[in-house]
Amino acid sequence: MFCHYLAKYPESSKMVDAAVTICSPMRMVYCNETLKASYNGVFYKHFGLKLRAVFFNNKRVLKDYYKEKHQIDLEKYVMEKYEVPHYNLLVALQHGYIDEKDYYERSSMVHIVH
């Protein structure tokens, strides 16, 4: 996301002259599909649980934001949701994307790598 930000707002990064991204997915939707398919979805399931843990451990800090901006009760959400798409949606909303599909499309590096 940092390289994506630098490419989108180069004038805002006065302290950074250059940045390199290594192994960034050119199309995030394909990365997600590969993660889902690999090892019968074991990595995908593990990733979903890790994302859930991040939101669960930070729900006290984030709950007001999600309630006010997106009408999501974060405390209830993390108790009921366990899969990657649920947490990709939260990440997408937090960073100004409309939904998970918009997040995958617009945050892919294919748009900014020259």
Percent over 90 (pLDDT), the chain: 30
The whole domain housing 94 covers 27-106
How many domains would you assign to the chain? 1
Question: In this predicted structure, what is the pLDDT of residue 113?
Answer: 65
Is 62 contained in some domain?
Answer: yes
Q: Is the distance from CB of 63 to CB of 75 less than 8 angstroms?
A: yes
- Is residue 3 over pLDDT 70? no
pLDDT category at 43 given cuts 50, 70, 90 is confident
Is 65 contained in some domain?
Answer: yes
Record the pTM. 0.69
pLDDT in tens, 84-94: 888 889 988 98
Is 8 contained in some domain?
Answer: no
Question: In this predicted structure, what is the pLDDT of residue 15?
Answer: 78
